[in-house]
Amino acid sequence: MIILESNAKVIKILKNIDYIKQNKKGLKDAFNKTESEQLKMINNWNIQLNEVLNQDLKNNKFDQIKLYTQNLEYLKDNIGIEIQQLQIEMKKIENISTQLDNNQKTLNLIDSKIQRSIIEINKEIRKYQQQYYQDYTQSLAMYIPQKGVQKYSDIQNQQKYIDVDKQVNSFIENEEATVMLIQGAAGTGKTMLCHWLIQNLLKTEKYIPIYISLSQTENYLTNLVEESLQNMKINDNEHQQLINLQQQIILIIDGYDEIGCQKNLYNTNKLEQYNCKMIITCRSTYVLNNPTYFKLFTPKNQTQNYCELIIVMFTENQIWEYLQRHINNIKLTKENWNDWQVYKQWIINIPGLIELVQNPFILNMIVEVLPIIVESKQYENINQKLLSLDIYEKFICNWFNNEENKIIVNNNIISIPNILDMFEEVSTKLAIMMFNDGISSIKYDKYRQNKWTKYLDPNDINKSTVLRGVPLQNSNQYYCYIHKTILEYFTMKGGINNILTSNYVDINIKLITDEGLIKFYTEYLQKHPDMNQLLLQIVIQSKTNNDMQVAAANAITILNFANFNFNGMDLSGINIPFANLQSCLMDSVNFSNSNLNNVNFENSWLRNSNFTNSDMSDVIFGEMKYIDAEYDIYCMVANQNMKILVTANEFVDIWHSETQQLKFRIKNHTSTVNALDINSNQNMIATASNQINIFDAETGKTIIELNYEQQRIITIAFSASGRYIASGCEDQCIRIYDLLLKKELIIINEVHSAINKICFSCDEKCIASCGREPDIKIWNLQGQLIHTLTGHTDFVWAVQFSQNSKYLASVDRMGQLIVWDALTFQQVKSVNAHSQQISDVQFSVNGEYLATCSFDTTVKIWNIQNLEVIKKFQGHSSFVRCVQFINETTLVSGGRDNLIKYWDLQYISFKSLSKFQYIDKKYNCLVSNIEETIVASGDDNSTITLWDINSGKSILMLKNEQTETIQAIQFSYDGKYIAGASESQIFVWDIDKKIIKFFKNTQCGVIYAISFNLDNTLIAVGGLNKIVYVYNIVSGLIEITLNGMKTPVYQIQFVKQNEQLVLLVNEMQYQFCFDMKGQLLSKTLNNIRQDPYNIYLDKIQQQAYIYENKSIIMKNYESNKIIWVQGVHSINIHGIQPGNFLSANNLALISQQK
């Protein structure tokens, strides 16, 4: 290559080689032709010479011949020279060609070495992971393919079950897809799915699979892949080769919910530089309340390349399949437990157990503990159904016993005193410490002494002996519990120990917010109701001890989720900031003089509650619509078209379903009304008491009265067309009356020992009935029994056909819900829906959902396809008798507490129908983070508030001890830090670690601008005094002082220019550029016009944040539509009376009801 580039002549020859060859041949042809012609000419001249005797002419001819001969010799000599030159150049070309061939061989050799290196890297990665998965061989052999739901963020319609493995494989094969999020509840098998995927991908050479446990990764934000490869002994050079590799990498990342940080790992790790796909798992509850959670996983500007799955619980078929595999693959020491059918029978027979084992992790535990539960007859001794807590307790007890036996056998000793207590003590202590540190794994470093060394030192025989009994697993020096729910279980145990010993240290550090942990607490309270008073005592103690705030907030949160009734209590002066009191029963509670900062009262009952002189910063309120009927609601029906709601006791009330106003009351009943129904076609209402009365729904006038010889009528139902009306009476008979012919068609005798409910099918071909027996009976309209449905174990309380005629639902006294196929009358699905008797069941208008209500005071919404609970509503103080869908978005329930409550179903989650937030501050500065998910505001009371952009709700408050105005705030580039400044202080807040650092502001005075450098080691501030100071964040000292500005500084920014870090400073007229030594590099006219006092514009979202006059308004500045408002001009909190929001320009009052 060097020769070719330096010899222009050779290049020219090489480019014209064909031309040279043609010339060579042309010259030869010309020479031969010329020679032949000249010889002929000479021969002719010789003849002429012989003929011509003139000697002069002869001499002249000889001269010409001599001249031609010389020309021919010259031509011949020149051709030889050209040929020689061509031969020389051709040899040079041959030498160059040889050199090029040698270079190509060298390149091929280098490429071969690189290829071998990549193959070795691939082999090393595979070898490492194959060794890692040797421990999972047995569990993976019993892996049951999982089912899931494919969910897109913009679709809310009904979703169908799909095979998870097939969907994941499709994602991997799809060249356009980049990121897949796999959600699931705790214990649904997300980690096992990851292991199964890795094992399958290791069988093919097409991909390089890499498994990453986030809980065991330190630098997950920026060095996720590098750290994982280092564990596999892959160095930096080899890592760089992987970046350039054509073979695709599949990153399977497990446990996003376990890192306690909501960042987009794909973007922060710059995974776009790899030829890779990312599959990441997360608990659904971790992202459920974030409506834009998909932004945490979507690659930059590539939403179309993102997809997600939600793993669902096991179906019954999956449960039985798992048991078959498991029992056949393990050796059970218990007699009579070697047949999976034995397990199946006990799971079906023990109340509540089949619902629990739909969770794969609990199902795995039940194989071990079910024989123990049966032998101990625990299921016979409990008044309620078996709880998940019962299974965890048996599992841990069995674990401890097994580990004790192993230690005894291995060490050939008789026993170790108190070893079981030590197992539990260390398990509990480690869990509490991990919970309070916000981690789910511990990295042990033998060269570094820390708080974990006390428990984890493997070189200490006593510590290592106890550690064997703790249900931990160790991988790459990381210790973590065998399942996150085990960590939550022992965290709960530690908290309970705190409460029982009145030592509240461990529960007074961190707020309890995890759904799984709260569930363990509430189940413990369910088994030990005396704990309620101990928790309440912690709340009361916070009145006189401000240091008990976190413990008190945790205690009252747990009580709320355990359905504790606070009605009428004196809670004045309590300190419970950030407590979760959603859907809490708190009528007539005295909250005066309390610290209720950031308490969530959404959907709580707070009638006549007193909030006088309470600190209510960022409190969330929500009040549900309700009707106080002033009597026990015996029965209720609703009609969407007529917009009426009908309730009854000894009389019948007709309400307007939307305004909740009473239209009229019907009083002409001589006994209690037991049942109601509406015929919308003829606007008729039917009531059942000691007779049947049919009224006009508009006027209340009686149309028909039917008497059945003083028989008490229990239930009543119109047919779909309204032609027939059926009734069930105390005499065990069903009577069908034809309203068109005005005569009784048939009497069906001895239907049940006592009839509870009847209903028509939508096609009017049959009637379903239930009574005080487990069977359901299906009759045709001729009175013939055509089906008997068995499946319930106790009295069936209600039956209902769906409006699309596909299903029949039934509920019983034990809390069981069964869905039947309305064509074949085969059982489709069964679930233990409530802890007590279910009193009513209703299908939604569109037939997609079921609603149930119960004596346990709750109302639940169910997905008809899988009978999974979608939402649980709490709010009644006594048992609920009836439930009705008003329309597709609203549900009502009525019960013994005299109340009819409205529930919002618009997003299949309970949202308050009216709420407001209380804010009484002036906002001086505002900024959003780079990802545009959070807005930070600074007010005149030394407080920085972080707001969720989508909802407008505050998510964090940072308060300075000095009562001063916050003048400037700014996020760091990575979003981990936020800085603020007042006249006396500058402070930096670590959002993740909740650590704050203060610097004294002795130089700057009034600050308008603040900025972090790229690695968060420096912070620059500037303002009214026209000088910029650069602080070292660690030392707090000023490192650089920048002068030269003529007007106040309004904007500062660290940027890279030509690989050099510089600082851009904007004042009103010029932009100054300084290097990091304080030298001025340039000064240019400033074209940026920015008003720091009035508005912050987000051009990407086309939204504006206006912040003055005690308000923040988020609005779309193209449509001028207000999206949300924060800030209150005047408000009366007492009694939860709504106030009005004041717009930023002070011209418009915006009602919170709107």
Q: 519: pLDDT confidence band, cut at 50, 70 and 90?
A: very high
Q: Is residue 129 part of a domain?
A: no
Residue 516 scores a pLDDT above 70: yes
Question: For residue range 952-973, what is the model confidence (pLDDT) as tens digits?
Answer: 667 777 776 666 777 788 888 8
**Statement to judge: residues 705 and 734 lie in one domain:** yes
Lowest pLDDT segment from 291-300, 538-547, 770-779, 873-882: 291-300
Grade residue 27 by pLDDT with cuts at 50, 70 and 90. low
If asked whether residues 981 and 1109 sit together in one domain, one would say yes
| Whole-number pLDDT of residue 1087 | 46
Do 190 and 50 reside in the same domain of the chain?
A: no
Percent of the chain at pLDDT exceeding 90: 24
428 contacts 490 by C-beta, under 8 angstroms: yes
The pLDDT of 937-945, averaged and rounded, is 72
Instruction: Compute the average pLDDT of residues 328-348.
Output: 78
Residue 1011, in any domain of the structure: yes
Q: Span 270-279, mean pLDDT?
A: 88
| Range 5-24 average pLDDT | 54
Q: Given this model, what pLDDT does residue 456 score?
A: 82
Q: With the CA atoms of 319, 322, 327 and 330 taken in that order, what torsion angle do they form, in degrees rounded to the nearest 10?
A: -140
> What is the model's pLDDT at position 621?
67
| Per-residue pLDDT reduced to its tens digit, 794-851 | 999 999 999 888 899 999 999 999 999 999 999 999 999 998 999 999 998 888 889 9
- pLDDT tens digits along 671-707: 889 999 998 676 899 999 888 999 998 888 999 988 8
For residue 572, tell me if it sits in a domain: yes
**Residues in contact with 539: Cβ distance below 8 Å, sequence separation at least 6, in sequence order:** 552, 555, 556, 559, 571, 574, 576
Residues 277 and 325 in one domain: no
In the predicted model, what is the mean pLDDT of the chain? 78
Of the pLDDT bands very low, low, confident and very high (cuts 50, 70, 90), residue 725 is very high
Task: Give burial (CB, 10 Å; 0-12/13-18/19+) of 662.
Answer: middle
CB 968 within 8 Å of CB 1021 = yes
Q: Does 556 map to a domain?
A: yes
| Ranges 151-165, 564-578, 768-782: which has the least confidence | 151-165
Residues 936, 939, 945, CA angle at the centre, nearest 5°? 35
* Same domain, residue pair 306 and 332: no
CB 463 within 8 A of CB 429: no
Side chain identity, residue 208: I
* Spatial distance between the Cα atoms of 1066 and 1054, rounded to a whole number of angstroms: 12
Q: Using CA atoms, how far apart are residues 741 and 60, in angstroms rounded to an integer?
A: 150
In a shared domain, residues 115 and 147 = no
Average pLDDT over residues 312-341: 80
Question: In this structure, what token pair is assigned to residue 345?
Answer: 């029978």
Residue 125 falls within a domain, yes or no? no
CA distance 114 to 125: 16
Higher local confidence (pLDDT), 293 or 440: 440
Residue 447 has pLDDT above 50, yes or no: yes
Q: Is 545 within a domain?
A: yes
Q: For residue 20, what pLDDT is reported?
A: 59
The verdict on residue 1100 lying in a domain is: yes
Q: State the pLDDT at residue 531.
A: 93
H-helix or E-strand spanning residue 4: helix 2-6
pLDDT on residue 1106: 38
Q: How confident is the model at residue 116 (pLDDT cuts 50, 70, 90)?
A: very low
Residues 66 and 19 in one domain: yes
* Of the residues 493, 517, 550, the one at which a domain ends: 493
Is residue 950 over pLDDT 80?
no
Single residue among 623, 656, 687 that ends a domain in this structure: 623
DSSP 802: -
Task: Report how far residue 514's alpha carbon sits from residue 521's, in angstroms, rounded to the nearest whole number.
Answer: 11
Indicate if 323 and 261 belong to the same structural domain. no
Asked if the model's pLDDT at residue 1115 lies above 70, the reply is no
- Identify the band that residue 724 occupies on the pLDDT scale cut at 50, 70 and 90: very high
Residue 975 vs residues 200, 373, 942, 944: alpha-carbon distances, Å: 37, 50, 21, 15
- Looking at the structure of the chain, the number of domains it has is 6
Local confidence band at 35 (pLDDT 50, 70, 90 cut-offs)? low
Residue 503 has pLDDT above 60, yes or no: yes
What pLDDT does residue 48 have? 63
> Are 753 and 771 a contacting pair, CB within 8 Å?
yes
389 token code pair: 């807590």
Span 547-568, mean pLDDT?
Answer: 93
Judgement on whether residues 306 and 324 belong to the same structural domain of the protein: no
Please check the confidence at residue 86 and state whether its pLDDT lies above 90: no
pLDDT at 9: 52
Confidence of residue 904 (pLDDT cuts 50, 70, 90): confident
Q: Over 90: is that where the pLDDT of 573 sits? A: yes
686 and 761 share one domain: yes
Please report whether residue 37 resides in a domain: yes
For 530-556, the three-class secondary structure string (H helix, E strand, C coil) is: CHHHHHHHHHHHCCCCHHHHHHHHHHH
Tell me: do 67 and 163 sit in the same domain.
no
Compute the distance between CA of residue 390 and CA of residue 384 in angstroms, rounded to an integer: 11
Domain boundary among 120, 153, 186: 120
Lowest-pLDDT choice from 322-336, 781-795, 833-847, 1032-1046: 322-336
What is this structure's pTM? 0.50
Q: Which residues form the domain of 799? A: 672-904
pLDDT band at residue 1092 using 50, 70 and 90 as cut-offs: very low
Residues 687 and 779 occupy one common structural domain: yes
Higher pLDDT, 804 or 113: 804
Instruction: Name the range with the highest mean pLDDT among 181-195, 377-391, 1133-1147.
Output: 181-195
